[in-house]
Amino acid sequence: MPIEGPLRELGIQDVFQLLDLSRKTGVLRIASKVRDDEGVVYFDSGRVVQASIRSRATPLEVALLNAGRVSTSDIETARARASNGDAGRPIVDLLVDGGAISQKDLDRHLRQQIERVVFDLMEWSEGFFSFEERPRDELDVVSRVAVSTESLLMESARRIDEWSRIADVVPNLEAVPELAPVEAARHGAMLDLLPHEWQVLTIIDGITDLRGIAAAVRRDEFEVAKIVYGMATTGILTIRGAARKVAEPEEESHSEASIIAARALTRAGRYTDALETLRRAVQRDPLTPRVHLELGCAAARAGDLALARSSWDHVLRLAADDSVGQWARDGLDALNHFERVLAAQLADVDG
């Protein structure tokens, strides 16, 4: 039976976490009419082995060329070998055999490619998802690397958190940076920029947006956004273009990302880190009952029963009548029972 539904009811982060926890093998498709696009992610026992977005689909050897990992002559040589005795073998394998790229560098590129696609998909809040479970030998994909879904979720949560800090200056990837006037940039001109920062600076022309700059320098879009943010805050650049996105869905995505990150930390036994992640989420989004519910659960696991009680009480003040409120009420009942049992046990010891 397929797992499917609209993303407005089950967020993409929750879908990934579900497939990770249940160690599913199969194909996840995410379609968005708004974006006129579709993403496809292959899972093997809960780990991501391949991911693509239709609008950005590129043959692997071309992606390696665009990333500067191989040359045109390398690809031509590999194709010549394919037509002279190595027919049927993937071009990328022939590139490795010919020494154009090492297996280690190829694996690193494939992992980065998966990460870029998944991080893009994590931003989709509209559309429809469908997961079809398949046996491993029926996956119509070559599994070259396998990336932990838990690590992808945690990194996605970190990126969302960082975006929330830089969004007032760099609202999104459609923003266009331009050099500041000479007087304003006088202080910035004295900065000792790193080589990759100079590389980004040389591409800035007041016309190309961040997405285009990242493609030109063949670097991760998120890393380019952080570089531009640093230059903008020191006066080297100014930012114009696309306005910051509407706050409500952004705040919701921050909360969901924090919850997913906290659950991943909990599974790793890092209860204190999970608790701190949810404390920050509550400070950022104090009116969402589910965040307070999760904070209470994390506090109970960490042994802070007073914080658990206050968090669940807060849930009841915000949402007493829905399922989240009922869970908080059950949690408080369990906590009260535990405290009564503990008090009785302590009384027996004292007696």
Q: What is the pLDDT of residues 68-87, one digit of tens each?
A: 788 899 999 988 888 876 66
Query: Please, are residues 312 and 328 in contact by the beta-carbon 8 Å criterion?
Result: yes
Selection from 71, 94, 69, 97 nearest residue 83 by Cα: 94
Token pair, residue 8, equals 């407005």
Residue 157 lies in a domain: no
pLDDT of residue 40: 95
The pLDDT value recorded for residue 246 is 41
Is there a single domain that holds both residue 218 and residue 112? no
For the four alpha carbons of 230, 234, 235 and 236, in that order, the dihedral sign comes to negative
pLDDT at 147: 94
**pLDDT beneath 70, residues of the chain:** 1-2, 85-87, 182-191, 241-255, 257, 350-351
Residues 122, 225 within the same domain: no
Rounded CA-CA distance 17/11 in Å is: 10
Q: Are residues 10 and 111 in the same domain?
A: yes
Give the dihedral of Cα atoms 273, 276, 278, 283; nearest 10 deg.
-160
Gap between the Cα atoms of 176 and 251, Å rounded: 24
- Do 256 and 235 belong to one domain? no
The reply to whether 192 and 282 lie within a common domain is: no
For residues 235 and 272, membership in a common domain is answered with no
Identify the pLDDT of residue 182.
61
Q: Which residues contact 320 (CB under 8 A, 6 or more apart)?
A: 329
Range of the domain at 15: 3-148
Classify residue 42 by burial, with Cβ atoms within 10 Å: 0-12, 13-18, 19+.
Answer: buried
Is the pTM higher than 0.85? The answer reads no
DSSP per-residue letters across 1-14? --EEEETTTS-HHH
On whether both 40 and 125 belong to a single domain, the answer is yes
Separation between Cα atoms, residue 85 and residue 110, nearest integer Å = 27
pLDDT for 227? 92
User: Cα(10)–Cα(291) distance, rounded to whole angstroms?
Assistant: 16
297 lies in the same domain as 338: yes
149, 47 contact by CB (below 8 A): yes
Count of domains in the chain?
3
In a domain, 158, yes or no: no
Q: Are residues 127 and 197 in the same domain?
A: no
For residue 161, tell me if it sits in a domain. Answer: no
Compute the half-sphere exposure of residue 35: CA atoms within 13 Å on the CB side of its CA: 18
Show the tokens assigned to 98: 């010919």
Does any domain span residue 155?
no
Strand spans (E) along the chain: 3-6, 26-32, 37-44, 47-53, 128-133, 176-179, 237-240
Beta-carbon contacts of residue 226 (< 8 Å; ≥ 6 apart) = 162, 166
Contacts of 322 (CB under 8 A, 6+ apart): 289
